[in-house]
Amino acid sequence: MDYRKEIEGFIDSHREDMIEDICRLCRINSEKMPYTEGKPYGEGTFEALQAALSMAEGYGFSITNYDNYVGTADLNDKESQLDILAHLDVVPAGEGWTETSAYEPVVKDGKLFGRGTADDKGPAVAALYAMRAVKELGIPLNKNVRLILGTDEECGSSDIAYYYDKEKEAPMTFSPDAEFPVINIEKGRLEGHFHAEFKASEAVPRLVKVEAGIKANVVPGKAKATVEGIDLATLETLAEEMKAETGISFGFEGSFPVFRITAQGEGAHASTPQEGKNALTGLLLYLTRLPLAECGQMDAVKALVELFPHGDTCGKAAGIAMGDELSGALTLAFSMLTVSSDSLEGIFDSRCPICSNEDNVLRTVKKNMADKGVTLENETMVPPHHVDGNSRFVKTLLACYEEYTGLQGSCESTGGGTYVHHLKNGVAFGAALPDTDNRMHGADEFAVVDELVVSAKIFAQAIVELCR
C-alpha cells in the first residue's frame, strides 16, 4: 500500500505544532557547560534533553534516558532496524544576530531563525514528527525505528561513545545533521600535531615569535609575528611584493628595532582550505624573505614553508597528495603555529579520501617531516568512512528524497564529519535541501520551514520503506 497521501496529509496538518515544538527546544541555551553531578554537559543540555524526551513520551513513544548523555524514543518494541541520530546541543550564540536574539526563535519570510533551528533541533523534531505520523496513522511495521538524541555532538561526541558502549548500532542509521540528498562518504582525518626544537640565537636581525591559529579545523585568517632589527621601510616594501604574490596583506605596529607584524588573509573551514587565504602560510613565506640572521629557528621555519607552502592545499609538498573518483582529493590546512626562540609547535588538518590509509598518509608525512627536523607526534589517524551507494538502504533514502522533492538524488562526499562516521552502515541524510545556506554555526542561523516539513515527510516515508 502507498501511504504517501496519508503521510503528506498528517505532516501538513501538524505543521504549526511541529514548528512550535522546535521553538520550545530552541528557546533553551544548550551549549556545553561544565559538568555537574547528573548533568555531564551542564544545565542547558540537560534541560533540552528532558524537554525532548517529555515531548516524545507525550506522543506515546517509549523513551530511555542514558544517564543524561543520550535519550532515545522507540516507535515499537520490535527488532531494531533503523536508528535516526540527531543532537540537541548547540554551538555558542556568538555575536551579530539581527533577525532575532539567538534563543528567541521566530519565523520570518518562511524561515525559522534561532540557534539550533537547522543544527540540529529542527531536524530532530522533524524526525520525531515522521515517527509520530507513522504511529498515529497506524502504518504497520515489522521492525523498530529509534530516534537517538545526543547532547555532545559539537564538542567531541563523547555522548555517542557512551551510548554505543551500552547499545549495538542498528542495521541502518541516518543522521539528519547535514543536507540532502545522501552523504555516504566522509573523508578520514589527520589532525597532525608536530614540534621542533633548536638552539636559541641572539643574532640580529631576528624573529622573536610567531602566533597563529584559533582552532585546528579553521584556516587562519590572521597570523602575527614579532621581529627585531629590521627597519619599517624594508618591512613595508616586502609586504607590497608579498601581497601581490600571495593575496595576503600585512600591517605593522611598534618602532625600531621591534615591530609586530599582522598578516591578514581570509578564514575558511579546514575541510575546504582552498576557499580561504591562509594568513599563516603567507606570513611564514614573508618571514623567509626578510634578511633575518641564519639560525636553527629560521631553518625550522624554512622547513615548514617547504612542507606546507602557501597555496598548497592538497598536501603535494608534504608528499601526500592523492584522490579518487568517489571522494575527491585530499585537502590540507596548516592551521596553528607558535614559534619561540628555541622551539615551535603546530597543527595541520588533513581530510583524506577513501584511498588513504596510515601507510600512504600518516607514515609518509611523518617521515617527510622528520627528514626536515620536525617531529609529527601522531600515531594514528581517523580512517575514511564509506557506505555503498548501491545498497538497498541508500537507494531507498534517495528514492524517498526524489519522490517528495522532485529533485535528482545522488550520493555525496564530505570533508566534514558527522555522528555516523564510526558506524558501519551510517549516512547523513538531510535536513536542508542542496544549496541552502542556513548560516549553521553563525549569526542568524535559520531553517527553511518548508524544508523542515518536507524532511518530516521524507523521513516518514523512509521509515515505512525500511521497516515495513
pLDDT of 270-323, one tens digit each? 999 999 999 999 999 999 999 999 999 999 999 999 999 999 999 999 999 999
Task: For residue 336, give the amino acid letter.
Answer: M
- Cβ atoms 105, 166 nearer than 8 A: no
Beta strand spans in 331-425 (E): 331-339, 343-352, 375-376, 385-386, 411-414
What letters, b where the CB count within 10 A reaches 16 and e where it falls short, cover 279-314? bbbbbbbbbeebebeebbbbebbbbbbebbebebbb
Q: What is the pLDDT, as a whole number, of residue 417? A: 81
Which among 270, 271, 252, 249 has a CA at the least distance from the CA of 261? 252
Phi, psi of 391, deg, nearest 5: -70, 155
Q: Per-domain residue ranges for the chain?
A: 4-187+385-467, 189-376
Residue with cell 521566530: 106
Phi, psi of 125, deg, nearest 5: -70, -35
Give the three cell numbers for residue 389.
551507494
- Give CA–CA dist 418/465, Å, rounded: 24
If DSSP codes are grouped into helix, strand and coil, which group holds residue 398?
A: helix
Give the three cell numbers for residue 6.
496519508
- Give CA–CA dist 59/85, Å, rounded: 19
- Cβ atoms 176, 397 nearer than 8 A: no
Domain 4-187+385-467 has CATH 3.40.630.10: yes
If DSSP codes are grouped into helix, strand and coil, which group holds residue 5?
A: helix
* Interstrand relation of 70-74 and 144-150 (parallel, antiparallel or unpaired): antiparallel
Can you name the residues that pair with 447 across neighbouring β-strands?
Answer: 112
Architecture of domain 189-376: 2-Layer Sandwich (3.30)
pLDDT digits (tens, 9 = 90+) for 378-390: 999 999 999 999 9
- Give CA–CA dist 209/190, Å, rounded: 26
Which among 331, 405, 324, 390 has a CA at the least distance from the CA of 184? 390
Helix, strand, coil percent values for the chain (each to nearest 5): 30, 30, 40
Running DSSP on this structure, what letter comes out for residue 168? P
Please identify every stretch of the chain with a pLDDT value under 50, giving residue numbers as ranges.
Answer: none
pLDDT digits (tens, 9 = 90+) for 103-155: 999 999 999 999 999 999 999 999 999 999 999 999 999 999 999 999 999 98
Beta strand spans in 407-464 (E): 411-414, 426-428, 431-432, 446-448
- Cβ atoms 128, 176 nearer than 8 A: no
- Cβ atoms 202, 113 nearer than 8 A: no
Name every residue whose Cβ is closer than 8 Å to that of residue 156 and which is 6 or more positions away in sequence.
none
Name every residue whose Cβ is closer than 8 Å to that of residue 211 and which is 6 or more positions away in sequence.
223, 224, 225, 337, 338
Q: What is the pLDDT, as a whole number, of residue 212? A: 97
CA-CA distances (angstroms) from residue 159 to 68, 153, 155, 262, 451? 9, 7, 10, 39, 28
- Estimate to the nearest angstrom the gap between the alpha carbon of 304 and the chain centroid: 26
- Give CA–CA dist 311/317, Å, rounded: 11
- Give CA–CA dist 315/188, Å, rounded: 14
